[in-house]
Chains A and B, each alone.
Chain A
Amino acid sequence: MNKKKEPLLEVKNLHKYYGREKILKGINQKIYKGEVVTLLGRSGSGKSTYLRCIHLLEEFSDGEIILDNETLGYTENNSQRKPLSSKKRALQRTEIGMVFQHFALFKHLTALQNLMLGPINAKNIPKNIAREKAEKQLDKVGLLHKKDSYPNELSGGQRQRIGIARALIMEPKLMLFDEPTSALDPELVHNVLEIMKDIADEGMTMIVVTHEISFAREVSSRVSILDKGKIIEEGSPEKIFSSPDHEITKNFLKAIL
């Protein structure tokens, strides 16, 4: 049998407008299981918007996103494109985890409650089991002793580790990281990157927007360059960082390296 490997995530011709402004102009990307893709691009190039579309946090006007053979967010009915019900979309979002630049922890909940919210309400997991899982997950990011702390009682690095744990506890197929360390003090960055590296080593498929070039070099299997809403260049870290094809990529790398 000549069985072709299926991508875990396939993005086809993704278009996104904000009002009249076209932000994403036809993104095509295939990401295979276990891949770690670093997404680079100038400020305003559409990196966050791209991740949000994949996670169904924003509507998109055209194109298709397929995760594990399932089309996300919309159905096609006699070539009529229709949004899926909000319940169905909520369920599809649980397949993907997201880590935010400014952590976005639920401020009125403790670390433990932050982790338990999704499993209990979106997956109907009983409270005691959710608690056990949450404690295990907190332990994994080294913060079990902070389980009863509120986000504002924690340091930035601790908050982000909880943000990661909150995404992981949903057991997603794909993890999205939107500049997870750029709001952190330099001495706290390392710790968060280590955890991300561990997650990658365990085989998680990841898309990471980051300016941490060492992470991109060592951990990612592929680097994609986004410019003005299009992926202009993709390749292995060695290729992209040593001999990029595109002029824009060269200039961009010169600016951040």
Chain B
Amino acid sequence: MQDLIIFRYSDLIWTGLNVTIRISILSMLAGVIFGLIIALIKGSKNTILSSIGYIFTELARNTPALVGIMWFTYVFPQLFSIKIPVFWTAWMALTFQTTGYMSEVFRAGIEAIGKEQRYAAKSVGLTFYQEMKLVILPQAIRIMIPDILNQFVVVFKTSTLVSVVAVRDLMYQAHRLSSQLYQPVEIYTSVAVIYILIIFGLSILVNLIQKKYKIPGY
């Protein structure tokens, strides 16, 4: 066991894993927040606003992930003549895509709650913000948990692409070790196992969360 490359170079693996986890969580968090905002914009009665929301969603979901990463890394900073570390340009690309998907998840979740709940919330004097926070989202979240988890897994998988623009994630470290040590079979297999274990763990966690927040009699 001790002889495995990933243990001999465990500090490199940890650094890489750390970057992978950080970029995934940060993109997911931002994607959830922006996704919610875009979903609310899409639900707006103002047709211009809602169209902008839908166009954004289509753009975000139809841009291939790698194209997005390249664009945000090599085009975006030039457009504004600024320097942005590759970690953050890659984060933007992942967030862009996640926002697109999450906005659809939120829109569907909010719509699933139905008109009567919204009327009832207004009826007892809640403002739009309170209605969302206290009535719609707590119910919608329960419906959306499987989709949100699924999206997190997608982000986690997609994050392997950021190594292409030299973000030093787990995949990047694997490339580097492999080209130094000429042991691609062992290195890539070990890394695959790490990715799979994490994704598997995530699924279990989500199942537990779902059970905990089940509404009695629902």
Contact = CB atoms under 8 A, between A and B. Distances in A.
Nearest to A93: B125
Interface in B92-121: 116-117, 119-121
Given A108-B215, A152-B216, A153-B217, A98 B138 contact: no
B124 interface: yes
Determine which residue in B119, B120, B124, B138 has the highest number of CB atoms from chain A within 10 A of its CB, and name it.
B124
Nearest to A120: B134
B189 to A, nearest CB: 45
A170 interface: yes
B127 interface: yes
Nearest to B119: A57
Nearest to A55: B123
A18 B152 CA distance: 40
B127 A87 contact: yes
Nearest to A151: B217
Interface size class of A (residues with CB under 8 A): 20 to 34
Nearest to B121: A106
Interface string A98-121: 101010111110000000011001
A152 B217 contact: yes
Interface in B121-169: 121-128, 130, 134-135, 138-139, 142
Interface size class of B (residues with CB under 8 A): 20 to 34
Contacts of B124: 93-94, 117-118, 122, 166-167, 170
Nearest to B129: A86
A123 B215 contact: no
Contact of B127 (A90, A98, A123, A150): A90
A232 interface: no
Contacts of B80: none
B182 interface: no
Interface in A55-109: 55-57, 86-87, 90-91, 93-94, 96-98, 100, 102, 104-108
Interface in B53-79: none
Contacts of B127: 86-87, 90
Contacts of B216: 150, 152-153
B214 to A, nearest CB: 10
Contact of A108 (B123, B126, B128, B139): B139
Interface string B160-200: 00000000000000000000000000000000000000000
A122 B119 contact: no
Nearest to A99: B123
A87 to B, nearest CB: 6
Interface of A: 52, 55-57, 86-87, 90-91, 93-94, 96-98, 100, 102, 104-108, 117-118, 121-123, 150-153, 166-167, 170
11 contacts: A56-B122, A100-B119, A104-B119, A104-B120, A107-B117, A108-B138, A108-B142, A121-B134, A153-B217, A166-B120, A167-B124
